[in-house]
Chain A
Amino acid sequence: MKDLSSNNKSIVDGPSRVDGKHKVTGKARYAAEHPIDGMLYGVLVDSTIAKGTIASIDSKAAEWAPGVKAVISHLNSPKIPGYDDKFYGLKVFFNNKVLFYGQPVALVVADSFERALHAATLVKVTYNKDKSETSVDKNLANAKLPGNPRMKDYVRGEADAYKKAEVSLEEEYLMPLEVHNPMELHAIIAHWLADDKVKVYDKTQGIKDTQESISKTFKLPQENVQVIAEYVGGGFGSALRTWPHEIAALLGAKKTGRPVKLVLNRMQMFTMVGYRPYTRMKMGLGATKDGKLTGITHEATAQTSRYEEFTEATVNMSKFMYKCANANTRYRLVQMDVSVPTWMRGPGEATGSFALECAMDELAYKLDLDPLEFRMKNYAEVDPENGKPFSSKHLDEAYKLGAEKIGWYDRNRKPASMKEDGMLVGYGMSSGTFGAFRWEATASARINADGTLVVQSAVSDCGPGTATSMVQIASESFGIDASKTSFILGDSALPPGPTQGGSGTTSALGSAVFDTCLALKKQLHEIAAAEQDSPLYQSKFEDVKFEDGDILLSRSKKVAITDLLKKKNVPSIAVTLESKGNEELQKYSMYSFSVHFAKVHVHPLTGVVRVVQVATVADSGKIISEKTAAGQMIGGVTGGIGMALTEEGVFDDRFGKFINNNLADYHVPVHADVPHIDTIFINKPDPIINPMGAKGMGEIALIGFAAAIANAVYHATGKRIRELPITPDKVMGAEV
């Protein structure tokens, strides 16, 4: 059957994930899946108003219900020493203030999940309700410059220069509220081992961050907080910080003196662990008649909470993506009676790129230029924001490869000109970018007498395949077969690893693994070179190679590492090393880039949009693991399909509450929404950023993609939809 043939050769042929077997057999244990004797279950009671105060809490019925061990609210909560004036964020069970709908106001702890769930319904809370504001659109007049000094207005050359341009465009774009919704519900098991010592099994993307956050909140020595996160069932940013429910579980465990498991329900995933903020944007673009950009203006107004400010780099991409002498940005926030937003995959840039990349498409049509040609006419060879060279940039090659794959030049560029199988056909493209970083990280590497290499670091993996990549880096760096190499993660007691966010894990941790393996090699060689009867006696490190567990000076002069350890009578030799970038990095602008091409079908009567073909290209330096990298790109595109066509968190502003806070009403893409996706890698090492030459790709996989779909819908229909998601009603209602 031809239709069933498998066609992604690089995925099939490459080395598989090192944790794959655990994941397909159910052996992988996520946060809530660690059995502990005497475990209790916590269920949160959420506020049913968006703003006001708690008038009373009657917990008697709940306390007397079978199996209930404690009901905790602001009335009886153990004091949290870290909830001082400096604490930033929601203080759980701290006072009677209600700051958003769904705020945790009480915790019921019982000896079974069912008993806790039932007792939670018996807690009666009354409120003094104030009028709440949750509509950004109705409160645009209250938009303010953020307190964050990095978010001030930016001007290069002349502000609003687009207004004087020969050809110009000014349009508004909307990114609705999006929710991460990883498949694993946020969960924690809190277990106090002593009054000042706690162990948690937690869903977190940052093991050391969570350790630090808990130790600060409860004023504990950091080493008295152990955080375990061996498997994390997706995050996309939602597990980048410590949330109130985690503190609530710690309180429940403290109060009852027993381990407490707390798992959020899907509705709480919309209100308690952040979201991508609703953002209104205005783009102004100006160009000469022959297509040279003369002005870029990007304005954004986003929602945040009243109790904590959240900002993201929404307008940054417009400062450096294209060569243009005049560029300016303005970023504003509206405080709402909502929970605080947080970083969500491609934070800032995913929102901003939608406006910029749609506007580029619109202006290209105004100029009668191919959108790809228009981009190439304004290609930035150096960073327009600071004049620095890029550490590496092959975006031009990415454009070319993507265009070839999708058949870009075979299309008729005229809008609403193509049809097949009764459907309107459209092609669209866009590009994306995200900063590439190299943070500091520490890893340890241990070579054992049996010839196996064990590398460790306190990092968690929410899905990209960190252990798989690290095994590949370690085995290549050390010159040993991957089957003899393992990577241990998921425990704060290990050497401090980076937080898995900002597409920075492979760069930071990979460098630490690379450098640590190098140091271990040097140490082993030093031992061998000091042995008088060794064939490597007095050899130089520069002259030897490490291959298949041997140290070689030449084919005949070599020492097996296992023999070396036996001779020295040691079970293993280990090195722990911190690794970070040098000052050289400051001389460069470091970014990853992506290009997305999409083909859509639009139903001429119903306006339903189907994505039928995608080619996505990553320029993110050297690819460490092609199999997992392809997965990242495919996943980013899938998220982008949701952003473009279906995802939108909707509030009923009368009550300040979500009305689609579940997976039946908040539409994430399903199998039927996602076609075959071609992933292409430039795979050229970045010579500057780190020893591997690898840059991040988690964010760029998504950034820009929604614009490719919006541009394809325009090409198919002649209709510009500037407010996401592009639902059938918008397609039908729009004018050509």
Chain B
Amino acid sequence: MAGVQVANVSRSFGAHKALDDVSIDFADGGFYALLGPSGSGKTTLLRQIAGFDFPDAGRIAIGGESVERVPVEKRRIGMVFQNYALFPNMSVADNVAFGLSVRGEPKATIATEVQRALDLVQLGKLGGRKPHQLSGGQRQRVALARAIVTKPRVLLLDEPLGALDKALRVDMQIELKRIQREIGITTIFVTHDQEEALTMSDRIGILRDGRLVQEGPPEEIYDRPQSEFAATFLGDANIFRGDATGSGIRLPDGTTIAASTGASVPAGAKASCAVRPERIRISTGAAKPDAGNANTLKGQVSRRIFAGNNSTYFVDRDGQTLKVIVQNTGAERLAEGQPVVLSWSPDSTVLIAA
């Protein structure tokens, strides 16, 4: 097993820059999510690491060994495809055995290894079935068993759960994470599902238009996004734009918002603030000012969406609609049209350089 280093990798298709000077270090044994909207270059990056495509510039190393010109079959990687890509003409066991068999391993070794891999994904008894006799989740497990049975240095997953329904997807997320921990393999996971990225990975890299926007542990990206894009793509955020004051920003109408996390922006420069909807308190009257709710704004409820354990309020304020998520604790529910006061702490406010 090994870490993966991607350094200054660029790749263009015609005039389109699919990857633009991307550098990421994937540490040995980590679980990484590459997150981004479609067309952001996340799959292109995965294909460069896999070796299906070679970068125009930059370096890719697996376990310290440069591989950017090594074809895929010599890279010793395991890959799980979005549509599973199981060989329809082979049984489940033969699918899993494929990688060992092309390597010319002895039959007895293959049989034991295949059984072990199938047991690991809890499909030990289904070796004789054909792929078309399996459910989506089972095919997914076969694809995973097939990818790890060869003991690859890196496991690459291309939106592996995209074709599964919601409940099954959550099961598979847990399952995938368990298996990854059990064999301790460096795993790189491409997804456009931010929730999946947050719950599964040790680190997340957010891509946009072929560039790496931000990279770090999920908590760090969520709590301290470095750009409006990162703030709004990973989770929800209310964005305020104004001029930096040194300790926050001043909105065009003169209101100041204090921010104690995020970038340091020189006073007078353009800047924005991001606040997560669940960090904002909503009340009908003015709350007692204290350090915990130093930022206050007045507004009016325009819509409320009830979602069981929580409610989302949309609050109109000076032409901007703010989003507030409140846990349903049985307290009074606010009616649409009601004037409200929003308050939140400067600690929950992230300053972002424009």
Bound together: no
- Give B residues with C-beta under 8 Å from A: none
Binding site for B on A (CB under 8 A): none
